[in-house]
Amino acid sequence: MSRARLTYNEEKNLFVFECPIYLNDIARAIPNRRWSPKHKAWLAPALRLNAQYFREILINVDHSPEAKAKIEEQESAKPILRNGFPSWFKFKTEPWKFQRDRLNHLYGQRIGGLYMDPGTGKTKLWLDIVAALRAEGKIDQALVNCPYSVFRDWKKGIEEHGALPMAVFEMDPKKQTQFDDWVTFRHDFKIMLVGTEAMSVGRAPDMVRRYLSVARTAWLLDEAHDYKSYKAARSTNVVQMAPLAEYRHVATGTEISHGPLDLFMQFEFLDPEIIGIGDFISFRNRYAVMGGFQDKQIVGYQKIDELMEIVAPYVVTAKKTEVFPDLPPKVYSLREVKMAPEQEAMYKKFKKDVNIEVGDKTLSIDNILERLLRLSEITSGYWSSEIPCPPDWPANQEWKPQYERHELPDPKLDEAIRIAESNDLPTIIWTPYTYQLARVVRAFRDKFGPDSVVEMHGGIERDARGHGIDRFTNGGARFFIANQQTGGVGINLQRAQIEIFLANSYRFTHRVQSEDRAWRAGQKNRVTIYDIICGKTWDERVLTNLQNKRDIADYVRERISKGMPVLDIEG
């Protein structure tokens, strides 16, 4: 064979490229291809990028009419509807101008991405889109996949921005009967929240498939960066079910340019034909530069302008520094997580003991607080058992209680890592508990690199503290992990744009001082403050009292003096 030849296999939807050995470099440049010893030819899926490549070399190769026709078909741009957002739509909350612009850009498309900073209104925009679609009779229901920790934010957003009455259901894979009732429940506009964590295994994927099958649905993957792994079960499940939804959207606060490879699974969900390259390895080989040991590490990126040009028509972006230049710089976000089963069992055991003990008014406030502290420790990933006084301890010396720490799962830590993965901003992480702090430091160093973390607590020598502060403020480290007692006063950390509270000290002054490490003179950006709590536990009461500017000791003293229960929360 002296010339290359291109044909098309309609049955398998493949381009077949045959060439002499000296033209193999041309074959290896095909974006997605594999060598077939059986056919003695290169086989390439009939996808858009492959078609584009063959168009460029078509003049130099022999080709069949079928191959040329398929190239022209694949190169035909899909029409993008730009009808604008309906002028007749009655908003529940008026959008800002930048939000109107993005509504006009997205509305009418069956797919779309909302790549917008936290606090720029992704939830509102999507709720307005689906409400208008429902009003026009284009959908019957909605589905939101999001981390369990943001269910509360979604319900709040629906209540605040939902322009149409919506019936909200939180899917629990353990409650099949409730789900069965919900699927048949008649309502003009239903919206179901499904935890990202549940989409990997078990009943949840089948329940979602059933929900999608019964009516026309608009489906959103919120925090879409959680679906970046092409091997993960949650990613493959949503991609397989995607065609069941009439409208599909993704939303994330992560910049597109920050993690370009994350786009692959997101657009596999939206529409695989947009990127049109077929599989992750081919996508990675086109847009990433591989190096390191055996060329298996990503050392850079390439052709990013091409990728951005491909996806730009289907997405909207918003940087908070651009759209909110004059807004107050503090934004609060509450993230609620579920305790692991062993945590929950231990919490119930300790809560029962605490309830009995705090009912005894003869106990001192300090003793009661000590017992309540055990509950906070459990929700922070460990529990403490008191070491008994040695039998040979001198009778004339006071024995001070000592404790042994026992590790439990820490879903708060998992949520903190997830928040950190969704952005690349300088971050302060607070916890009053030394045991939890050490665990967070280890986890973040393992995840983001040993040089990414500065730790600050009573065990750090004074000189080392100063060096650590300098490393963080000068940009040498991204994370400042500290307890409020040591890191919460007397230092300036204006570089931070995110603060995460994994737990709180019982003193209001510790909280306000900690918050103000980042928000003080010299801060030029908004500061987002995340509180991560275990729902329906003592965490809620602690946070509520601090928000009301009260020390927990004052709260306990007041409840005991009035003969009222201290643990007046469900848990």
pLDDT digits (tens, 9 = 90+) for 226-281: 888 888 999 999 999 999 999 999 998 766 655 688 899 999 999 988 888 888 99
Number of structural domains the chain divides into: 3
Cβ count within 10 A of residue 151 = 19
Backbone angles phi, psi at 550, to 5 degrees: -125, 140
453-456 and 479-482: which strand pairing? Answer: parallel
Cβ atoms of 542 and 376 within 8 Å: the answer is yes
Mean pLDDT of 163-173: 94
3 state SS for 466-497: HHHHHHHHCCCCCEEEECHHHHCCCCCCCCCC
Domain that holds residue 57: 5-75
42 with 169, same domain: the answer is no
CA distances from 198 to 172, 195, 203, 279, 492 (A): 9, 5, 8, 25, 41
Instruction: Tell me: pLDDT of 519 over 80.
Output: no
SS3 per-residue string spanning 510-569? HHHHHHCCCCCCCCCCCEEEEEEEECCCHHHHHHHHHHCCCCHHHHHHHHHHCCCCCCCC
The CATH number of the domain where 165 resides is what? 3.40.50.10810
Stretch 372-393: mean pLDDT, rounded?
90
What is the phi/psi pair of residue 208, to 5°?
A: -65, -40
Q: Is 90 helix (H, G, I), strand (E, B) or coil?
A: coil
Alpha carbon separation from 367 to 255, 360, 362, 377, 550 (Å, rounded): 49, 11, 10, 16, 19
**Are residues 345 and 471 both part of a single domain?**
yes
Average of per-residue pLDDT across 540-548: 90
The whole-number average pLDDT for the span 125-140 is: 96
Q: Examine residue 86 and state whether it is found in any structural domain, yes or no.
A: no
pLDDT the model gives residue 12: 84
Distance CA 439, CA 275 (A): 40
- For residues 135 and 61, membership in a common domain is answered with no
**Hey, what are 398's tokens?**
């006071």
Q: Find which of 45-49, 184-188, 369-373 is predicted with most confidence, using mean pLDDT.
A: 184-188
Q: How confident is the model at residue 7 (pLDDT cuts 50, 70, 90)?
A: very high
- DSSP readout, 41-96? EEEEE--HHHHHHHHHHGGGSEE-HHHHHHHHHHHSPPP-----S-TT---SSPPP
At residue 425, the pLDDT reads 93
Domain contains 297:
yes
Q: What is the pLDDT of residue 357?
A: 67
Whether 289 and 255 have beta carbons less than 8 Å apart is answered as no
Largest CA distance in the chain: 102
Task: Give the pTM.
Answer: 0.70
Residue 119 has pLDDT above 80, yes or no: no
CATH assignment of the domain containing 60 = 3.40.1170
Q: Within 382-461, where are the H helices? A: 411-421, 434-448
- Average pLDDT for residues 535-559, to the nearest whole number? 87
pLDDT at 238: 96
Q: Are residues 159 and 272 in the same domain?
A: yes
Domain at 546, CATH number = 3.40.50.300
Pick the last residue of a domain from 305, 321, 337: 321
Residue 83: inside a domain:
no
For residue range 439-488, list pLDDT tens digits in order: 999 999 999 999 999 998 888 887 788 888 889 989 999 999 999 877 76
Residue 239 lies in a domain: yes
Tell me if 280 sits within 8 A of 262, measured CB to CB.
no
Q: What are the strands, taking DSSP E only, across 338-417?
A: 382-387, 402-407
Looking at the structure, tell me whether residues 498 and 454 fall in a common domain.
Answer: yes
Using a pLDDT cut of 70, give the percent of the chain over it.
93
What pLDDT is stored for residue 570 in this prediction? 52
Percent of the chain at pLDDT > 90 equals: 46
Residue 189 confidence (pLDDT) above 90: yes
pLDDT at 315 over 50: yes
Q: Quick one: 421 and 505 in the same domain?
A: yes
d(CA 341, CA 408): 10
For the segment 485-502, what is each residue's pLDDT rounded down to a tens digit? 777 655 778 889 999 999
Residue 185, in any domain of the structure? yes
Do 108 and 63 fall within a single domain?
no
State mean pLDDT over 349-356.
81
* Both structure tokens of 123: 């939830």
Domain boundary among 321, 339, 368: 321
| Statement to judge: residues 262 and 334 lie in one domain | no
Q: How confident is the model at residue 163 (pLDDT cuts 50, 70, 90)?
A: very high
Does residue 477 sit within a domain? yes
**Do residue 289 and residue 141 come from a single domain?**
yes
CA 316 to centroid of chain Cα atoms? 18
Same domain, 302 and 344: no
The DSSP string of 444-463 is HHHHH-GGGEEEESTTS-HH
| Alpha-carbon dihedral 428, 431, 436, 440, rounded to 10 degrees | -10
Does a structural domain hold residue 294?
yes
Q: Say yes or no: 13 and 106 in one domain.
A: no
pLDDT at 209: 96
| 279 neighbors 34 (Cβ within 8 angstroms) | no
Average model confidence (pLDDT) across the chain: 87
Mean pLDDT of 211-223: 95
pLDDT tens profile 45-80: 888 888 888 988 888 899 999 999 998 887 675 666
Q: What is the mean pLDDT of residues 3-26?
A: 90
The verdict on 335 and 433 lying in the same domain is yes
Write down the pLDDT at residue 80: 67
Short-list 199, 135, 196, 125, CA closest to 166 = 135
Q: Which residue has the higher pLDDT, 570 or 323?
A: 323
Identify the band that residue 571 occupies on the pLDDT scale cut at 50, 70 and 90.
very low
Mean pLDDT of the region 366-392: 88
Residue 344 belongs to some domain of the structure: yes
